[in-house]
Amino acid sequence: MDNIVDLKGVVMRFGDFVAVDGIDIGIQRKEIYGILGPNGAGKTTAINMILGLLEQTSGKITINGLDTRKELGKIKMMIGFMTQETVVDQDLTAEENLEITGRLYHIDEEELRRDIDEALRESGLEKFRNVKAGTFSGGMQRRLNLVRSMMHNPKILILDEPTTGLDVQNRVSMWKKIKELNDSGLTVILTTQYLEEADALCDRISIIDHGKIIAHGTPAELKRMVGNGNVLEISAKVDQIERIRKMLKSKFRLESENASDKVTCVIEKNATLMLSKISAELDKEKIPVNSVGLHLPTLDDVFIKLTGSTLRDTLGDNTKTIRMR
């Protein structure tokens, strides 16, 4: 089957700096596809090229078979886009925000009234129809932004970090909304810095770091890269990390991975017995640790294996939780 969105060897340079370094991504119809990576990985740049807001330095992008370099007008009508920053007009009411978007797409007046009612209902903002968006909480603004990006009834929805900065409750409700839209037939492409989000939502994922795709597959396939079995995780201060790795290697013949504040290794058999033996050895050697535990492989383990850091290590400021009213 043809990919609805297809990137082949796509490169974006800003002067000497290579922000996107030859990526291949094939997105199938009706899937939720995640582009996962830390700050500055190149996620927004990749999205902007798919949208035709930036022209790639080299490589080819097609949307529904149409080349973004040649048929941008048609492509724009197929795609709904929610930007990383919320861009609803703060001085306009919820209704007015939807109106100006509808006019941009030349939706006729009668249809627009119906679409606005539906969008307000969908976003749970009916009661706030005549309230200025500037007074809305972060979660409400994001919901308004989402329905606004859908006013022209697109086939593909692109969401650039749809839940960054949202609290857990709003994040979960955004996930539910995205799932519903996907169930109704939309192809969804989203970027995220949250491993749990990629895991919970996406059918397939590309992990991007420094402009390169370092792994791709379904969440289950990616987790299998870590190994079969349980992951033993020892968290400790940075100056103990090497000591722990050496102990695991010399006493238990275990190969480990590490981030700045933790060591992980895969235990294939008898994990709980190994856990107690390793805990006893840490005690015996008087190695101070913060915690020792077992879990099934997560995407965080995948990221550590691939990059030697946790995704959290690389996160910037913009993950602060916005307090909801």
Ligand X SMILES: Nc1ncnc2c1ncn2[C@@H]1O[C@H](COP(=O)(O)OP(=O)(O)OP(=O)(O)O)[C@@H](O)[C@H]1O
**Interface residue list for ligand X (CB under 6 A):** 14, 17, 19, 37, 39-45, 84, 193
* CA 76, chain centre distance (Å): 22
C-alpha separations of 38 from 43, 99, 175, 274, 316 in Å: 9, 35, 20, 33, 8
- The neighbouring-strand residues paired with 196 are none
In the beta sheet, which residues pair with residue 113? Answer: none
- Partner that binds at residue 26, options Mg ion, ligand X, none, CB closer than 5 to 8 Å by kind: none
Cβ proximity to ligand X: between 40 and 138 the closer is 40
14 binds, among ligand X, Mg ion, none (CB under 5 to 8 A by kind): ligand X
Size of the site for Mg ion (CB under 5 A): 3
For 194-310, strand residue ranges (E) read: 204-209, 212-217, 230-235, 257-258, 262-267, 291-295
Asked if residue 88 lies in contact with residue 123, where contact means CB atoms within 8 angstroms, the answer is no
Q: Which is nearer to Mg ion, 149 or 230 (CB)?
A: 149
| Nearest distance in Å: CB 161, Mg ion | 6
State which residue, 45 or 256, has the beta carbon closest to Mg ion: 45
Smaller CB distance to ligand X: residue 215 or 278?
215
> For residues 21 and 122, which CB has a smaller minimum distance to ligand X in the complex?
21
Residue 49 CB, nearest approach to Mg ion (Å): 13
In whole angstroms, the minimum distance from the beta carbon of 132 to ligand X comes to 28
User: Following DSSP, what letter does each residue of 20-66 receive, concatenated?
Assistant: EEEEEEEE-TT-EEEEE--TTSSHHHHHHHHTTSS--SEEEEEETTE
Q: What b-and-e string marks burial along 81-106, b requiring 16 or more CB atoms within 10 Å of the CB? A: bbbbebebeeeebbbbbbbebbeeee
Q: Give the residue with the Cβ less far from ligand X, 206 or 230.
A: 206
Question: Does residue 44 belong to the site contacting Mg ion (CB under 5 A)?
Answer: yes
Q: How far is the CB of 162 from Mg ion (least distance, A)?
A: 12
Cα end-to-end span (Å), the chain:
46
* Residue 43 beta carbon to Mg ion: minimum distance, rounded to whole angstroms: 5
3-state secondary structure of 82: strand
User: Of ligand X, Mg ion, none, which one sits near residue 52, judging by CB under 5 to 8 A according to partner kind?
Assistant: none
Name which of ligand X, Mg ion, none residue 157 binds, using a CB cut-off of 5 to 8 Å depending on partner kind: none
Single out the segment in contact with Mg ion by CB under 5 A; choices: 37-45, 108-116, 239-247, 251-259: 37-45
List contacts with Mg ion (CB under 5 A).
43-44, 84
